[in-house]
Structure 1
Amino acid sequence: MKKILGLKILIVATLLFGSCTNLDQEFYDRVTPETFFKSEKDIKAALYRPFTHARWYLGEDRWNLQEYTADQFAITTKGRHWYNGGENERYHYHRWTPDDNWIWGTWRGTLMGVALALDAKQDLEKLDYTKFALTQADKDDHVNQLNTLIAFFYLRGLDYFGGLPIFESLDAESLPRNTDKETFAHIEKLLKEAILKLPKKKAGDKEEGAFRQAGAAALLARLYFNAEAYVGQPMFAECKKLCQDILAHQYGDYSLDATWYGPHSFTNDRSPEIIWSIPSEFNKLQYDWFFNPFYHYNTTKYLDIDGGPWNGAHLTPSKKPTGEWYVEYKLGSPFRKYNDLDLRKRPYKYLGGGRYEGMFIFGPHLTPSGAVINGGEEYKDQPLVFVDQVGRFSEVGPGKRYASISELPSRMADGEENTGVRPVKVPIPNNTDKSLRWGADNPAIRLTEIQYMLAECLLREGDKGGAAALINEVRKRNFENGTDPDPVTADNLDDYRMLDEWGIEFLAEGRRRTDLIRWKKFTTESWWDHQPSDNHYNRFPVPTQAISGNNNLAQNDGY
């Protein structure tokens, strides 16, 4: 009987991620594309399946490894909640091990993504598209979308782990890891070939999840942008050229959105800034994984919605328990980094009809009508007020654990139910407009990233003025009448200001660890309740579960 590894992987993925509930199907020992594909609909179903995996992959464990290990986010222990066996502290303090679940989920999800895309690609390559009233151009588009998706998964895996097993067929088993440079070269080759055959976006086209030329070019720019961390060879000049070409419309028609919320709104499929996104729609592959971890149990009253959030994650604090700023750290304190006049720094408020303002939950928690929302843990039957601090304030006072606020420690172990500012990067409508919920697509690649990459390349060349102009072109949309009270200048732009600008614009977009590593600050710098760690933590270990299933896999140094 012919072994079809792709079919095995597809069945395993279905069982793991719940895309199919009919498990009573009859499977044959030989399935070929020529007999399976009956219509264009079948072709598109095969093409889209790996993209649904990418939708899952962009959140959860992969996001966790990028953000909770860095300086902008934390999941503090809140009384009896969220200690989780010390897992959250291990990531914050850089003490993770090969046995940690987020790492295993990311390794497995990366290679499964490659396998799913490769499986679909191999099937589609065998088809005569003319039998489906399709053209060779259609076939080239589909195959190279999958090549780009394979490169995307390998690029993310290279970022997390270094070299990965490279496979271009699903027949091989127990492959060893290729080197960092071999993995890098494989990604580069896939993307360079895809760019030549993918179509360009035209003005007015909606972004509905397909890769076009600019998407492949942007991924190639990312590869070069971080090449020094990946293979020890700076390639900022190569990144610069790609970014300039993308901005010059050589790979399609894109422009910056006029508003800060345009790339994130319910209609962001029409934003001219989106280069690649993952579509989302209420009850249809909705982009919502972050809702439960970020928000308090009673935030449903604040938002006037249904649901059951878990009250875990928040921004790292800008203030000490005493109210003083954390001036000793150049990194972290993300809420403070937003200028007070920044339109995003207002409390999130849904205005109806798909309109909203602000990007954060902080301060007194009130219903839309202004009624006080009480807590349910430390502040049970007391008004809930979210603070940009971490400390057990409920334990201060006569006869309590701490005599005064000045005695309060501020650590991962010291959270409360109201600890931390909560971001609302993805808008949430109220129950009146429930049909809009999760209608905002996940903007996986934005033109702003291209502009900021180019700015950083110019900064590294010494052209601070040119870099500042590119950043300020984006910043001005965040202020009334485009008047920025704290623009970037040649005098104030350095590596820390550049990191601040990345952190402000791309807060919660799952990239912070990579940016810190590129600037050699991920393991060398301090931020709130975090001290420098060993250099080997720039990469995650190969998970124990992966090695136990394939003893040809070599472990990363230091683990």
Structure 2
Amino acid sequence: MKKIFGIYILTAAFILSAGCTKLDQTFYDKVTPETFYKSEKDIKAALYRPFTHARWYLGADRWNLQEYTADHFAITTKGRHWYNGGENERYHYHRWTPDDGWIWGTWRGTLMGVALALDTKKDLEKLDYTKFALTQADKDDHLNQLNTLIAFFYLRGLDYFGGLPVFESLEGESLPRNTDLETFTHIETLLKTAIEKLPKKKAGDKEEGALRQAAAATLLATLYFNAEAYINKPMFAECKKLCQDILAKTYGEYSLDASWYGPHAFSNDKSPEIIWSIPSEFNKLQYDWFYANFYHYNTNKYFDIDGGNNNGSHLQPSRKPTGELYTADFKLGSPYEQFSDQDLRKKPYKYLGGGRYEGMFIVGPHLTPSGAVINGGEEYKNLPLTFVDQVGRFSEVGPGKRYASVNVLPSKMSEGEENTGVRLVKVPVPNNADKSLRWGADNPAIRLTEIQYMLAECLLREGDKAGAAALINPVRKRAFTGGADPDPVTAANLDEYRMLREWGIEFLGEGRRRTDLIRWKKFTTETWWDHQPSARHYNRFPVPTQAISGNNNLKQNDGY
């Protein structure tokens, strides 16, 4: 770690110095915090650096491992596109190996996040904050935000890999992995310490990326919520208590947003339910990693914006090529059809101007805002594009073609087309007229709804189905006109599958699905579209080959 991090620091120093032309500089044989930090601005710049890493970490490979391995999203091969050497199929079918790139990117990114936060913490601990017109409370806040961030990275790493090398300085080298329990205990200790000293959110405070007391409490609740998967010890009672306290405002002032879109809209920094968000702004730290992969090459015409896409990701299908629903075949998956037809979110996404929008899916005929037809460029070249909630080579059906009818059309990962699958628009996209709003929505990393659903699941596991329903239904109601939910959760219809369905509806595309399936012991045991049960060891990812080749003290996970 010391060697790797040293290279990172030296590279950064070289980049910074390469643009300098001033010659009358003072050189030191050793840079110390006392010589480097000159103002409060320097302190905050250092504090923000590991948070920018967290912004990157919440997307891309980490999201991929959570969603493409589970029952909601897929990247099908679309004719000549997206086979990618079989990578997408390996994740979907649970056949990944220690050589796969998303796994290496996640292992490396996790430990880099820890190292960046530790390096900043080490510097700030040495500073006398009074010299910068700051207080001890400011210092405690900064240090415990970093403790919380370190715990966040370790928590995610524990979820993906199990035990990790636990280090509290950057002096070690070629460290072995700690046990699952040791890693769990380290996370727990960091968060308990942080909760004691972090400030609470007050009424009216905006969310601007700071980690407050409720964020640390939520991460601790999440650790306990999934403890059975992590250390083979159910800790739902501990999770329940924390969730109750958060909802009782013990850790700060939060409340459920009145609208379904409030936590995701352009002004979601004002949403009362955001507990921790990662700020985003056009041409700055943009929350946009998903944009290219999620949308068709010509979807920029649908959004009425500039810029292209590469047409990879989509929801797994709810319907067979014949149009029949898959719900009779398996209990998981079919994400689009899990939404009621009356659900306001199920409408096709449409930007209404002035920061307003409706719906969150691209489905059906692809049209410009003025109603003009958008054509395809591959299977449907010069033909109208219509996005379908199905997977199959429909362009190859008919007289003299490959398939005589849709009745014999296969539906699997290798059989996609350019219009395959419903597309999710959870982060609103404005048109060119409102370009200044683009990527104005922050990434809602933690929101109060998560607390309500965790508590609901804890109550369900205790047998209190009515209590669980009372927590879920207020969230559901805001997605229906006048709150008229046609299918509310009740004590009679709530079971583990309905609970997973509710997690899937509310948190679709928010990078948590694999973890939810594992907690209910369904990730490797259940069937969904084009996916059969896999071996138990796939509940964890392997230690990447590149990590072991650089550190022979690392032990591989069982089964790999």
TM-score bin (small chain): over 0.9
What residue identity is the alignment partner of 1:378?
E
SS class of match (2:444) = strand
TM-score normalised by the chain length of structure 2? 0.97
Q: What does residue range 30-429 of structure 1 map to in structure 2 within 5 Å? A: 30-326=30-326, 327-429=328-430
Moved more, 4-13 or 184-193: 4-13
The Cα offsets for residues 277-328 of structure 1, whole Å up to 9 and x where unpaired, read as: 0000000110000000000011111110011110000000000000011021
Relative distance call for 1:426 and 1:282 in structure 2 (3 A) is same
SS class of match (1:276) = strand
- Give the root-mean-square deviation of aligned CA atoms: 1.4
Question: 1:542 — aligned with what?
Answer: 543
| Cα distance in 1, alignment partners of residues 457 and 406 from structure 2 | 41
SS class of match (1:118) = helix
Relative distance call for 1:14 and 1:218 in structure 2 (3 A) is farther
The 8 Å contact of residues 389 and 420 in structure 2, kept in 1 or not, is answered as: yes
What residue identity is the alignment partner of 2:174?
S
Relative distance call for 1:539 and 1:29 in structure 2 (3 A) is farther
The 8 Å contact of residues 3 and 173 in structure 2, kept in 1 or not, is answered as: no
1:220 Cα deviation (Å)?
0.2
- Work out the percentage of aligned pairs sharing the same amino acid: 83
Relative distance call for 1:474 and 1:60 in structure 2 (3 A) is same
TM-score normalised by the chain length of structure 1? 0.97
SS class of match (2:263) = helix
The Cα offsets for residues 42-99 of structure 1, whole Å up to 9 and x where unpaired, read as: 0000000000000000000000000000000000000000000000000000000000
| Cα distance in 1, alignment partners of residues 89 and 303 from structure 2 | 30
Relative distance call for 1:267 and 1:476 in structure 2 (3 A) is same
Relative distance call for 1:118 and 1:460 in structure 2 (3 A) is same
The 8 Å contact of residues 5 and 170 in structure 1, kept in 2 or not, is answered as: no
| Cα distance in 2, alignment partners of residues 14 and 192 from structure 1 | 35
Relative distance call for 1:396 and 1:12 in structure 2 (3 A) is farther
Question: 1:523 — aligned with what?
Answer: 524
What residue identity is the alignment partner of 1:488?
V
Relative distance call for 1:421 and 1:554 in structure 2 (3 A) is same
| Cα distance in 2, alignment partners of residues 29 and 93 from structure 1 | 54
1:188 Cα deviation (Å)?
0.1
1:32 Cα deviation (Å)?
0.7
The Cα offsets for residues 469-503 of structure 1, whole Å up to 9 and x where unpaired, read as: 10001100000001100000000000000000000
Relative distance call for 1:97 and 1:204 in structure 2 (3 A) is same
Structure 1 runs of 4+ with >3 Å offset? 3-15, 20-29
| Cα distance in 2, alignment partners of residues 206 and 344 from structure 1 | 26
1:10 Cα deviation (Å)?
3.7
The Cα offsets for residues 242-262 of structure 1, whole Å up to 9 and x where unpaired, read as: 000000000000000000000
| Cα distance in 2, alignment partners of residues 415 and 281 from structure 1 | 34
What residue identity is the alignment partner of 1:115?
A
The 8 Å contact of residues 5 and 171 in structure 1, kept in 2 or not, is answered as: no
What residue identity is the alignment partner of 2:407?
S
| Cα distance in 2, alignment partners of residues 8 and 178 from structure 1 | 25
| Cα distance in 2, alignment partners of residues 393 and 353 from structure 1 | 39
Relative distance call for 1:452 and 1:10 in structure 2 (3 A) is farther
Question: 2:487 — aligned with what?
Answer: 486
SS class of match (1:413) = coil
The 8 Å contact of residues 9 and 112 in structure 1, kept in 2 or not, is answered as: no
1:22 Cα deviation (Å)?
6.2
1:13 Cα deviation (Å)?
7.5
The 8 Å contact of residues 114 and 154 in structure 2, kept in 1 or not, is answered as: yes
The Cα offsets for residues 192-247 of structure 1, whole Å up to 9 and x where unpaired, read as: 00000000000010000000000000000000000000000000000000000000
| Cα distance in 2, alignment partners of residues 430 and 298 from structure 1 | 14
1:30 Cα deviation (Å)?
1.7
What residue identity is the alignment partner of 1:527?
W
| Cα distance in 2, alignment partners of residues 81 and 354 from structure 1 | 34
What residue identity is the alignment partner of 1:77?
T
| Cα distance in 1, alignment partners of residues 318 and 487 from structure 2 | 19
1:23 Cα deviation (Å)?
4.3
What residue identity is the alignment partner of 1:137?
A
| Cα distance in 1, alignment partners of residues 259 and 13 from structure 2 | 39
SS class of match (1:351) = strand
Relative distance call for 1:23 and 1:177 in structure 2 (3 A) is farther
The reply on whether 1:502 has 2:503 as its aligned counterpart is yes
